[in-house]
Structure 1
Amino acid sequence: MNNQSVVFFLMGPTAIGKSSLALEIKARFPQIELLSVDSKSIYQGLDIGTDKPKKEDLCKNFYRLVNIVQPQNVYSVIDFYNDATREIKNIIDSGKIPLLVGGTMLYFKTLINGFASLPPSNPLIRDYIFNDLFLGKKKKLFSMLKKIDKKSSKKIHKNDIQRVLRAVEVFFVSGGKSLSQLTEESIHIKLPYKIFQFGLVPHNKDFLYKKIINRFNNMLELGFENEVRRLYQRTDLTLACPSINSIGYRQMWHYIQKKCTYQEMINSTIQATRQLVKHQLTWLNNWPDILLVRDNQVNILIQKIERILTNNI
Structure 2
Amino acid sequence: MAAAVARQRHDPESGRDLSPVLMLMGPTAAGKSGLALALAERVPVEIISVDSAQIYRGMDIGTAKPSAAERARVPHHLIDILDPSDSYSAARFAAEARVLIEQIRQRGRVPLLVGGTMLYFRALLHGLSELPPADPSLRARLQALAREHGWPALHERLRRVDPVTAARLHPNDRQRIARALEIVELTGKPASALHGPAGKPALEGRVLRFALVPERRAELHARIDQRFEQMMRQGFLDEVRRLWSRGDLRTDLPSMRAVGYRQLWAHLDGRLTLDEAVAQGKAATRQYAKRQLTWLRGEPGLSVLDSDRADPVATILDALEQDRGGMRRGCAPGV
Same-fold call, TM cutoff 0.5: yes
Q: 1:129 to 1:197 in 2, by over 3 A?
A: farther
Structure 1 residue 159: deviation in Å? 2.1
Structure 1 residue 121: deviation in Å? 7.5
Q: 2:170 is aligned with what amino acid?
A: N
Listed as ranges, the matches of 1:185-264 within 5 Å are 187-190=198-201, 191-264=203-276
- State yes or no: 1:159 paired with 2:170: yes
Q: 2:199 is aligned with what amino acid?
A: H
Aligned match of 2:14? none
- State yes or no: 1:291 paired with 2:298: no
Whether contact under 8 Å (1:138, 1:159) holds in the other structure is no
Aligned match of 1:180? 190
CA distance in 1, matches of 2:47, 2:189: 32
Structure 1 residue 171: deviation in Å? 6.8
Listed as ranges, the matches of 1:1-313 within 5 Å are 1-2=9-10, 4-30=18-44, 32-118=45-131, 134-135=146-147, 137-142=150-155, 145=158, 151-157=161-167, 159=170, 161=173, 162-168=175-181, 176-177=186-187, 180=190, 183=194, 187-190=198-201, 191-296=203-308, 297=310, 298-308=312-322, 310-311=324-325
Structure 1 residue 202: deviation in Å? 0.6
Q: 1:85 to 1:120 in 2, by over 3 A?
A: farther
Question: Aligned with 2:325: secondary structure?
Answer: coil
Structure 1 residue 195: deviation in Å? 0.6
Q: Which has the larger radius of gyration?
A: 2
Structure 1 residue 170: deviation in Å? 5.0
CA distance in 1, matches of 2:137, 2:71: 35
Q: 1:188 to 1:120 in 2, by over 3 A?
A: farther
Question: Aligned with 2:76: secondary structure?
Answer: coil
Q: 1:11 to 1:262 in 2, by over 3 A?
A: same
Q: 1:112 to 1:218 in 2, by over 3 A?
A: same
Q: 1:152 to 1:229 in 2, by over 3 A?
A: same
Unpaired runs of 5+ residues, structure 2, are 1-8, 11-16, 328-335
Question: Aligned with 2:162: secondary structure?
Answer: helix
Structure 1 residue 128: deviation in Å? 6.6
CA distance in 1, matches of 2:138, 2:30: 33
Q: Percent identity?
A: 34
Whether contact under 8 Å (2:57, 2:83) holds in the other structure is yes
Structure 1 residue 200: deviation in Å? 0.8
Structure 1 residue 234: deviation in Å? 1.7
RMSD over aligned Cα atoms: 3.0
Structure 1 residue 28: deviation in Å? 1.0
Question: Aligned with 1:288: secondary structure?
Answer: coil
Q: 1:223 to 1:184 in 2, by over 3 A?
A: closer
Number of residue pairs aligned between Structure 1 and Structure 2: 305
Q: 2:278 is aligned with what amino acid?
A: I
CA distance in 1, matches of 2:314, 2:229: 31
Whether contact under 8 Å (1:199, 1:293) holds in the other structure is yes
